[in-house]
Amino acid sequence: MQFSDLDLSKTYNYADYLQWKFEERVELIKGKIFKMSPAPGSAHQRISRVILVAIDNFLENKTCEVFSAPFDVRLTRKSKNNQDLVTVVQPDVCVICDPSKIDGSGCLGAPDIVVEILSPGNNRKELQNKYEVYEESGVQEYWIVSPQDKTFLKYTLNDIGTYVPSRLLTIGSEVTTPILPGFVLDLEQVFKDN
């Protein structure tokens, strides 16, 4: 099967996704297929690496784990059955503190933290579609990093299940999170070589 064989007006599930063997990388958001951007540029990869390494170093000997794309995150609504899963995303970086959510296929359920790094052409998908599914599925914090603007925005899930945005952060700011007490991400380091 080729990507061009798919009917993009149809709704698909994780069982379908597992059958696809084409080269294009895709994500499913509420059953709709979204083609992922071409391979990320060097700025995107540097930022991803800095964030991943900072979190990974902090998590040494702790319960939480950090993963980077490609890594399937299957967001659940009603059931964990492959036919019922209609959202499968590959965040740039994610932190999972519940080991029972990690299996041989990736993550089943909402990560605690999801980090998405904007690339030209994916802003609408990241800022609208993924925002909605991350909020609905209970991702505690959704971090959005813009290499072009050198900005960082964090959405935090409140008690009623809706996201509250942080102020826009940039070089000179530090990111902290109650999910990882004691962790500090220096945005000067994140944007240093970009």
Cα 16 from chain centre? 21
pLDDT value of residue 85: 86
pLDDT value of residue 79: 65
- Listed by start position, the domains of the chain span 40-190
- Phi first, then psi: what are they for 112, rounded to 5°? -75, -40
Residue type, 4: S
pLDDT value of residue 60: 95
Give the 3-state secondary structure percentages of the chain, helix then strand then coil, rounded to 5.
Answer: 25, 30, 45
The pTM assigned to this predicted structure is 0.91
pLDDT value of residue 36: 76
Residues of the chain with pLDDT under 50: none
Homologous superfamily of domain range 40-190: tt1808, chain A (3.90.1570.10)
Question: What is the residue whose two structure tokens read 């700011």?
Answer: 173
pLDDT value of residue 40: 75
Q: Are 70 and 90 in contact (CB under 8 A)?
A: yes
